Chains A and B, each alone.
Chain A
């Protein structure tokens, strides 16, 4: 009989990048800007924001949203992808939405920081994509807070 796991698992390494390979291009500055116009996650305007460790998977605690300037109201749509082609709908599950308010950029006050809790363990190689409901001028930075098992 196969042995069932009797030990809790913990993250062994923090992971706050989009592509689980730290020093690659476009790995950190994930900014969603252009409307995606779907509920399936297939639009090329979706941005990859997190990739689970390829061997043991990862824990994704939350996504941090920060406006990178003045932006009109929108909504962020969050998809979990099974590691397959993101442009194929059956590889994506529509997981959640975050209201993104109107932001007026200012240099003497902080704008809102929006944390969306995910709180789930992702299987190896699974990915998270995010897109916007409407196009905005400056875009929203999306930062994952997670860790590799």
Chain B
């Protein structure tokens, strides 16, 4: 294959968890139950992003929004190679995000948390996120990315 002489750019935005396929839980990804590991294998992790199957995708950031009143916890972020997420060797522990205590309120906004990633994912790779301790309302996680 000849070396590439052109920069690559996203051709389409992608803010869904599963390539825009209209499936259940494609947008409303809520992390709520403790995962209890550093390997990404717990079934309490949630799929938050899937890179394009042909050319891969660029993952810019993850947006966290509290869905109500929650105690403090931490979100753990894993990059999966497209294989079975319950097998540890398919997941790389990439990062953590402090999720503070939040009290739900109807007269003002609560915090918008953006966790920047800013790298290109190979075709079919995925991002999983979970919380370290169980919270009451949960956190919505939305990926901001794009397909190459």
Contacts and interface: CB of A to CB of B under 8 A. Distances in A.
Interface of A: 7-17, 22-23, 25-30, 55-56, 61, 64, 66, 68-69, 106-111, 113, 138, 141, 143, 145, 147, 149
Contacts of B38: 68-69, 138, 141
Chain A facing B: main interface SS: loop
Interface of B: 1-8, 34, 38-40, 55-56, 58, 71-74, 79-83, 88-98, 119-125, 132-133
Q: Which 3 A-B pairs have the closest CB atoms?
A: A14-B120, A110-B96, A107-B132
Contacts of B123: 13
A56 B133 CA distance: 44
A77 to B, nearest CB: 20
Chain B facing A: main interface SS: loop
Contacts of A107: 34, 73-74, 132-133
A29 B96 contact: no
Nearest to B74: A110
A89 B15 CA distance: 47
Contacts of A23: 81-83, 90
A11 B6 CA distance: 8
A28 B4 contact: no
B25 to A, nearest CB: 23
A149 B92 contact: no
Contacts of B1: 55-56
B96 A11 contact: no
A65 to B, nearest CB: 10
